[in-house]
Amino acid sequence: MRTLSFVFGLVLTATPLAVPSPASAAAGWTVSGPGGGVSARLALDDAGRLSFGVDRQGAPVLAPAPIGITTAGTDLSTGLTLAGRSSRTVRERYTRTTGKQLERDVTLAESTFAFTGAGGARLDVIVRVSAEGAAYRYVLPAGGTVTGEASSWTLPADAPAWLLPYNPNYENVRVQTTAGSAAAGDYGFPSLFQVGANYALLTESDVDGRYDGARLTHAAGSGAYRIVLADPGITATGPLATPWRVAVVGDLATVTSSMLTDDLAPPSRLTDTSWVRPGMVAWSWLSEHSSPSDPVRQKQYIDFAARNGWPYVLIDEGWNAAWVPEVVRYARARGVDVLLWLHWTSLDTDQERDTLLPRFRSWGVAGVKVDFMDSDSQDRFRWYDDILAATAAQHLMINFHGATIPRGIQRTWPHVMTLEAIRGAEQFRTRAATNTMFPYTRNVVGGMDYTPVTWAVTDRDTTDAHEVALALVYESGWTHLADRPETYEAHPEALRTLSRLPTVWDETRLLTGAPGRETVVARRHDDRWYVGGISAVAAHTVAAPLGFLGGGRYLAETLRDGDHGLVRESRIVRRGDTLEVPEPANGGFVTVLCAYTGAATCDRPVRRVPATTLTLDPSTTDVHPGGSVTVEAAFTLPAGGPITGVKLAARAPQGWTVRGPAVADSGMRGGDTLRGTWTFTAGAGVPTGATELPVAAEFTFAGDPGSPDTPGKRPVHVEEVVRALVPPADPSGTPAVSDLPFLTESNGYGPVERDRSNGESAAGDGNPITIRGTAYPKGLGMHAPGEVTVWLGGACTRFSAQVGVDDEVAQSGSVDFRVLGDDRELASSGVRRSADPAAPLTADVSGVRILTLRVTDGGDGKNFDHADWADARLSCGS
């Protein structure tokens, strides 16, 4: 990540003004942006109150409105005097990993105004102006506790407005109104207003844990919108620079392409972003909510993504740590990376982050989707600071759902691929009129995870081409396509387009449109242009000028709505031509423009990874602390190829060592095998339980086109593991199972409880084990589906328990109890219900190494299935 900031012509004019009283004569100052098109006006009235306004091309867009800040000790919104002014020119040059313009070079004029207030309190107001708008922030050199801001904006009461009634996840329905007639209440950023021929987009930038997120509040009938903070008080230790109060001003083309919010944000915190890769994501939760809990179904999504060159699959709520590592290995061998969903409270402590994030990385997970933050408080922004640093340290990309809006976060933290903060397709009600507002509002300030292209959403008034075009018109570093593989394959022309769309852009231009009516946008990626249109108006023909093209002829390949479904058509165009596309009501289209070479299509090959195999011998083993196992690996390319840069190596898990060199081959062809041998040794202090000993091959392959977003080669990672068990001591006597260490455990709700019923979701919250009025001091409390495994080592002969549904359930549950030895069923109870008494369950476990106690839901779902293994015991040798 390259980020450079330049400061030119620093002019210090901080000459103190000799003013005997806090109030001063009215004064005003102008800060003009490069070219003079946009200027900011800062004024001080006779009472020492500040106001701020913005002009464009000499005409007011935002009339002067009160600004200022209050702290617990001082009111710095009145009684101010100017102490001095300094000015400079700031040039920002940086490269983004995501967004509508990857390379940015912008110049801003900056002036710092120093004021003093009551008791000599100091307040600096910094104003920055670019060709795209103006912004200001406060600096409190002495810090303190901020209790509020007087910051505000003033619009003409009749100014058309596109506003979002505020809630902290920014998922309310955006409304079209006017500045004055908008309902009284709070509105979320960004807010768009039209003033004559100009537009003003109001938002903020550079918010982190030193402050909180703001919103606008409005009184009915007024054109005034005042800043309201999320917290009653914001405490700063030492000097405090507040977030920027930002107004993007200009025509709609200026607003939609603006990056002013990013220009004002801090530079990248990352020096290496080579591991950050945007791209298309297959996501199953919206179209089939239960699928994230099904590893077989997730592999089907992975196969679909691999066939179509999509680099990611997101496994949402419901995944299980017991099977995720194997699914990740399956995906990576096919050139697909896995993303995992988490509730934010799973990562809200240092301990959780230090435990879970390295574990995900060790599995090979590429990134996480974190959900339900639902707050703009300072505490929550401090959490954002922590999670951003922690995920970056583990090279895990991140997507924030149930989140606040972007405020320059994707410049500062380039591994943020996208954020929700939008009423997207997962609300299951799609309207063209609101879809056409988002490109001019929410999506201006950063990646927007709308989860588009969903035939699963049946309550929509959009056409099929409109749905496909959302993947282009909306910018998101990760674009989560939210329908089933079978649905996309039933729309082959849509899938053909989606499998070749980039998700990051070198350049973006609005060609035509208006909020709530239509959007036609052109985006460039490398040497080709993509034009996408969505409509919320009656049937018409779109006329998009192609003046942005370079010289020569281009093939324009368009996907649009036809009379009987999606159709594809082509024509040859030149710079200066007009692209004309017929659209039905609420329709859309996607056009790809590539240099015309005589080919009939702009399609490029889809990235498909050659099939390989990696076998390990042994595949399972027992290793005692201090012991070793020698593993032989064979990596084979059965057919096809060639593959290049092949490397085969072993990796030692924590507490283990591995001996043996990596082996390599510069190229392999069909039928070739690469072999290696390694010896893994368990350290004396390794914990008991299951461990995976990984061996992996990495390679590139000839003809790999790369992904649409990543130039060059993405190595393919093929990994298999030896499943090693570090066993505890063999049990002896007649131990209770609840007193033995668990090798593995899983549970349908909360953890498995020892000597208590399942209870609720927390550990230790169960009750005494009770079945039909009989209490048992020992046993296991489970919730179907669940199981535990324990080590017997062949030392035991008999298992016994009293099984049943615990009395704590409020309604009838049903559970089937099963006893397995070394994965072979030894005994089962049949379905036991709440009304049934405890039933004896015994099994001969002679020679069994690993005992599994499993409960299933009885075939009618898991509700109220609190399963008790009462007085579960073993008979073992001495």
- Which residues, at least 6 apart from 499, have a Cβ–Cβ distance to it below 8 Å? 280, 308, 309, 310, 606
Mapped onto helix, strand or coil, the DSSP state of residue 345 is helix
CA of 32: how far to CAs of 11, 126, 211, 533, in Å? 15, 13, 28, 35
Residue 837 DSSP class: P
CA angle 462, 525, 708 (to 5 degrees): 85
163 token code pair:
């506003």
The DSSP letter of residue 243 is P
- Asked if 709 is an active-site residue, the reply is no
Residue 218, CA distances (Å) to 181, 221, 548, 646 in order: 10, 9, 41, 63
Q: Which of 55, 426, 720, 865 is catalytic?
A: 426
Residues 723-751 as b/e (b if ≥16 CB within 10 A, e otherwise) read ebbbbbeebeeebbbbebebbebbbbbbb
Task: Look up tokens 């919730």; give the residue.
Answer: 783
First to last CA, the chain: 64
Residue 496 CB neighbour total at 10 angstroms: 17
Q: What is the DSSP letter of 477?
A: S
Q: Six-digit token pair at 288?
A: 């089939």
Q: Looking at 45, 371, 483, 808, which residue is catalytic?
A: 371
On whether the CB atoms of residues 790 and 748 are closer than 8 A, the answer is no
User: How far apart are alpha carbons 521 and 531 in whole angstroms?
Assistant: 6
Question: What is the token pair recorded at 580?
Answer: 């004309």
Query: In the Cβ-directed half-sphere of 413, how many Cα atoms lie within 13 Å?
Result: 28
Burial 157-189 (b: 16+ CB within 10 A, else e): eebbbbbbebebbbbeebbbebbbebeeeebbb
User: Residues, the chain, total?
Assistant: 878
Give the integer Cα–Cα distance in Å for 341 and 338. 10
Token pair of 37 as six digits: 């098109």
CA–CA distance, 115 with 76 (Å, rounded to integer):
9
Q: 865 and 805 in contact (C-beta within 8 Å)?
A: yes
3-state secondary structure 538-591: CCEEEEEECCCCCCCEEEEEEEEEECCEEEEEEEEEECCCEEEEEECCCCEEEE
Name the packing angle between helices 324-332 and 350-363 (round to 10°): 40
User: 3-state DSSP call for residue 134?
Assistant: strand
426 is catalytic: yes
Provide the token pair at 41. Answer: 């006006």
Nearest to 826 by CA among 814, 839, 817: 817
Q: Which of 278, 303, 311, 395 is nearest to 715 (CA)?
A: 311
How many angstroms separate the Cα of 867 from the Cα of each of 189, 805, 811, 858? 50, 5, 13, 11
Cα gap 103→119, rounded to integer Å: 47
Q: How many angstroms separate the CA atoms of 707 and 477, rounded?
A: 13
DSSP string spanning 812-829? --EEEEEEEETTEEEEEE
What's the rounded Cα separation, in Å, for the pair 782 and 769? 11
Nearest CA to 817 out of 782, 874, 856 is that of: 856
Which residues does the annotation mark as catalytic? 371, 426
